[in-house]
Amino acid sequence: MGVLTSKQLGYMKSHELCRLATASKDAKPHVVPVIYAMDGEDVIVAIDYGTKKLGNLRQNRKVALVVDEYHPNHAVMVEGECEILERGKEYLRLLRLLADRFEYYRKNPWGEGESPILKIRPTKAVSW
Domains and CATH numbers, the chain: 6-127 (2.30.110.10)
The helix/strand/coil state of 122 is strand
Strand order in the sheet with 29-35: 29-35, 17-23, 62-69, 74-85, 117-127, 42-46, 37-39
Q: Are 116 and 86 in contact (CB under 8 A)?
A: yes
3-state SS track over 72-86: CCEEEEEEEEEEEEC
Residue 22 identity (one-letter amino acid): T
Quickly state the pLDDT bin for 11 (edges 50, 70, 90).
very high
The predicted-structure confidence for 76-122, as pLDDT tens digits, reads as follows: 999 999 999 999 999 999 999 999 999 999 999 898 999 999 999 99
∠ CA 106-56-80, rounded to 5°: 75
Tell me if the bond preceding 109 is cis, omega within 30° of 0. no
pLDDT at 71: 87
